[in-house]
């Protein structure tokens, strides 16, 4: 290809764009923008759902790391010492020791078996976000010895998933009897929380002071320690620090406790892959239709160009560049619409799901991959009609047949 011939595809591209209908060009760019938004919106939405599910496990239950008693033990040996050791480790922002008790709660002759957890409210605030999800009443005070907070699934009420097995509507200020290992104590409901993590919403919380007063033999004991890390600290780094320390328990990552959430997120990952393929197909069909209609309207012009000596390969290249221009325009305007409209909207009005509130989770690496895919798909889809038109007989092309 000579230097002069190399310029022909760009001149043809400029001529096609400059002489084409302005509103048609705007519509094409709009369609390409929508196609690109479709490619990045659905994956970031599902990534947001997956992130919301994972955050629920961390924020409402286990923290980033949780420690359980060693095999064969019921309690963590010297939990207070373990908490102080962990608190001094690099990357740790909060530590809370808990005593998880299998209890029976009774209200108005209605009984049910749920876990009641004795906590230090100040420490718990540094690890979980249950205190931020009170839908009635207040969170626990550190030295409150007569109050209890219960999850929405225990309280029950309209639209509660497990209402049939709940206490059927106790209110703030009502008294519930908490029974454990033959001992019973009355507590006043100080608050009801709704974390949207059903496992947590089936639990109740009292203070360590309340448990120590009710059952002095359990004072200072713990059977779980939960740890919250700085967002930039890898979980493995702290697990390594814990493994070499004499903690008296076994440490696990939050992923080890994800359970049902792992199944949910795996399902969303599979759906995400499928919908990404569908979005790529939609983008390919869009660019194919755009180029096909454009070529159909310019069939005679292409025939004349071939008649005056323009090589078919140069015409093909001009349409490849045209597809790239359309794709890049769609990427630019689609990205602007995504960040200017969709991201702020879903930040203000997230998808409300039973597993949490989902927002768009933007992934820079995924964005680049989908950008490249969009360009390659556009080029591939444009080649089909172009190769077809450049292979028909010259006279048929000139006469528009």
Domain ranges across the chain: 3-57+262-398, 71-247
pLDDT for the residue numbered 228: 96
Matching residue, tokens 């924020």: 59
**Do residues 257 and 53 make contact, with C-beta atoms less than 8 angstroms apart?**
no
pLDDT, position 229: 95
> Angle formed by the axes of helices 312-337 and 260-297, to 10°?
140
CA 351 to chain CA centroid, Å, is: 11
Closest CA to 143 of 125, 120, 172: 120
- CA-to-CA distance for 326 and 125, rounded, in angstroms? 52
- Two tokens, residue 242: 């814990």
Whether 279 and 42 have beta carbons less than 8 Å apart is answered as yes
Residue 198 CA to residue 194 CA, distance in Å, equals 9
Q: Name the one residue in this structure whose structure tokens are 């309209």.
A: 158
End-to-end CA distance of the chain: 30
Distance, CA of 3 to CA of 9 (rounded, Å) = 12
Q: Which of 187, 246, 245, 249 is nearest to 213 (CA)?
A: 187
> Do 227 and 64 contact (CB within 8 A), yes or no?
yes
* 401 residues of the chain, pLDDT tens digit each: 555 555 665 565 566 666 666 777 788 888 888 888 888 888 888 888 888 888 888 999 899 999 999 887 888 878 888 899 999 999 999 999 999 999 999 999 999 999 999 999 999 999 999 999 999 999 999 889 999 999 999 999 888 888 888 999 899 999 999 998 888 999 999 999 999 888 899 999 999 999 988 888 888 889 999 999 998 899 999 999 998 887 888 999 988 876 656 666 677 777 878 877 887 888 788 778 877 777 766 666 666 666 666 666 677 777 778 888 888 888 999 999 999 999 999 899 888 777 778 888 888 888 898 889 888 888 888 777 777 665 555 445 455 55
In angstroms, rounded to a whole number, what is the distance separating the alpha carbons of residues 224 and 70? 11
Helix ranges restricted to H, 174-297: 208-214, 235-243, 260-297
User: Distance between alpha carbon 122 and the CA centroid of its chain, in Å?
Assistant: 28
Smallest CA-to-CA distance from 2 within 340, 224, 314 is with 314
């Amino acid at each position: 290809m000579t230097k002069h011939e190399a310029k022909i595809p760009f001149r043809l591209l400029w001529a096609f764009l400059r002489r084409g209908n302005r509103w048609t060009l705007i519509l094409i760019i709009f369609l390409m923008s929508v196609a690109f938004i479709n490619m990045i919106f659905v994956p970031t939405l599902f990534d947001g759902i997956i992130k919301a599910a994972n955050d629920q496990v961390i924020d409402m239950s286990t923290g980033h790391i949780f420690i359980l008693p060693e095999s064969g033990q019921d309690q963590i040996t010297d939990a207070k010492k373990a908490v102080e050791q962990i608190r001094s480790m690099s990357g740790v922002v909060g530590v809370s020791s808990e005593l998880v008790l299998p209890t029976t709660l009774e209200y108005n002759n209605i009984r049910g078996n749920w876990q009641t957890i004795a906590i230090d409210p100040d420490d718990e605030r540094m690890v979980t976000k249950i205190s931020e999800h009170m839908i009635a009443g207040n969170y626990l005070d550190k030295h409150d010895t007569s109050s209890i907070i219960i999850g929405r699934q225990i309280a029950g009420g309209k639209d509660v998933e497990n209402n049939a097995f709940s206490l059927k509507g106790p209110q703030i200020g009502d008294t519930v009897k908490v029974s454990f290992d033959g001992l019973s104590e009355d507590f006043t409901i100080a608050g009801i929380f709704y974390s949207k993590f059903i496992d947590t919403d089936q639990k109740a919380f009292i203070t360590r002071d309340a448990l120590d007063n009710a059952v002095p033999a359990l004072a200072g004991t713990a059977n779980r320690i939960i740890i919250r890390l700085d967002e930039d600290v890898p979980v493995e780094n702290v697990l390594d620090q814990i493994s070499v320390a004499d903690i008296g328990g076994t440490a696990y990552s939050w992923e080890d406790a994800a359970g049902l959430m792992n199944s949910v997120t795996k399902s969303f990952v599979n759906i995400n892959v499928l919908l990404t393929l569908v979005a790529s197909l939609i983008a390919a069909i869009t660019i194919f239709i755009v180029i096909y209609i454009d070529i159909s309207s310019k069939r005679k012009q292409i025939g004349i160009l071939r008649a005056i000596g323009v090589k078919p390969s140069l015409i093909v290249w001009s349409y490849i560049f045209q597809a790239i221009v359309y794709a890049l325009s769609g990427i630019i305007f689609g990205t602007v619409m995504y960040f200017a409209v969709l991201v702020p909207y879903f930040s203000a009005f997230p998808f409300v799901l039973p597993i949490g509130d989902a927002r768009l989770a933007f992934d820079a690496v995924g964005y680049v991959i989908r950008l490249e895919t969009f360009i390659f798909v556009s080029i591939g889809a444009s080649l089909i009609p172009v190769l077809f038109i450049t292979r028909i007989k010259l006279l048929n092309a000139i006469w528009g047949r």
